[in-house]
Amino acid sequence: MDIIKDLQSQFLTYYDKLIVILPKLLIAIAVSVLFAIIVKFFRKKIMRFARSKAEDDLLVNFFDNIFRIFNITLVILIFLYIIGLSAVAGSALGAVGISTFIIGFAFKDIGENFLAGIIMAFKRPFRIGDYVKTLEVEGSIIEMNMRDTQIKTSDGKDVYVPNAQILKNPLYNYTIDGFLRGSFMIGVDYNSDIEKAREIILREISDIPGILKEEKPPRTHVKNLNTSTVDIEVHYWINTFDSNYSGLELKSIAQSRIVTALTHAEIGLPADIVELKNYDDGISLKPNKISEN
């Protein structure tokens, strides 16, 4: 019986305390919810305005994530202060500071990636959609958050690269200025008119829609003098901001047209020549060499 009385006494004590704190608790919940709704409303307004002024969403999305975490922390602190746990809120802030110092050593890489993300958000070495390469990862930028940057490779893989890795290593951005150079090699016969072949190549590649003509015109030059071919290297530029054209497709079209045009002009496109010599002890395979005289 004594145990039951003790339990009843404790229950009544907690009940009385609950009755006393209940109004504060309800007010704290109402104020916190209202504050969260107001902050969320203004945050969305600010982010929408920022997106309308920003060149891309990379920087806006990054700081939107930071503001969201800050707002949640602020709502929790307001709730604690209203219900009379200001000491707990102060202790929580102090604990957060100490914990941050301690956790900073244990999770140094996380903090390093976070700071690298902030630096890149302001430095802006790339935008969403840019085609980049860092170390062995090459592809298009999809998103950057507080820890890593998402890159989609040309074969469809999603690679999450730590921000610190991008910041500390060379970063190649192929599309940031809107121009990307393509190139390929084509070999013609030594007996062919090399200058005529170059003229045909330039004429054909200049007629392809999507390849730039005036800003950065196509060019050709003799690259190598091989055993059986004269290698002509072709350079051309495309506008990476124009989504109507694919770099790989333009390269395929250019090579097909040039091969067809050179064939119609009776300019030889030989393969490597192998010379066969028959000796008494068998057949010897030797590459044919062209005299320089």
d(CA 234, CA 211): 12
Average pLDDT for runs of 10 along the chain of length 293: 61 61 75 82 78 66 74 78 63 53 52 76 81 90 86 90 89 85 91 91 92 90 88 91 84 92 88 62 50 37
pLDDT for residue 228: 83
Rounded CA separation 104/279 (Å):
77
Q: Kindly report the backbone phi and psi dihedral angles of residue 151, in degrees, each rounded to the nearest multiple of 5, phi listed first.
A: -125, 130
- The pLDDT, as a whole number, for residue 98 is 47
**Separation of alpha carbons 18 and 28, rounded Å:** 14
The domain at 126-173 falls in which architecture? Roll (2.30)
Task: Decide the pairing of beta strands 171-173 and 179-188.
Answer: unpaired
pLDDT of residue 236: 93
Residue 179's pLDDT is what? Answer: 86
Per-residue pLDDT tens digits for 108-146: 666 677 778 777 877 778 888 888 999 889 999 898 887
Q: What does the pLDDT read at residue 11?
A: 60
The pLDDT assigned to 105 comes to: 45
The pTM assigned to this predicted structure is: 0.54
* pLDDT at residue number 215: 82
Q: Please enumerate in sequence order all residues whose Cβ is within 8 A of that of 24, keeping only pairs 6 or more positions apart, or say none.
A: 82, 83, 84
Which amino acid is it at 191? N
Fold of 179-264: Alpha-Beta Plaits (3.30.70)
In this structure, is the dihedral angle defined by the CA atoms of residues 119, 123, 129 and 134, taken in order, positive or negative?
Answer: negative
Residue 218 near residue 251 (C-beta atoms within 8 A): no
Provide the pLDDT for residue 248: 84
Tell me what pLDDT residue 214 has. Answer: 84
Integer angstrom CA distances of residue 215 from 60, 135, 237, 248 = 32, 31, 9, 21
Alpha-carbon distance of 182 to 217, in angstroms, equals 12
Sequence ranges of the domains in the chain = 2-106, 126-173, 179-264
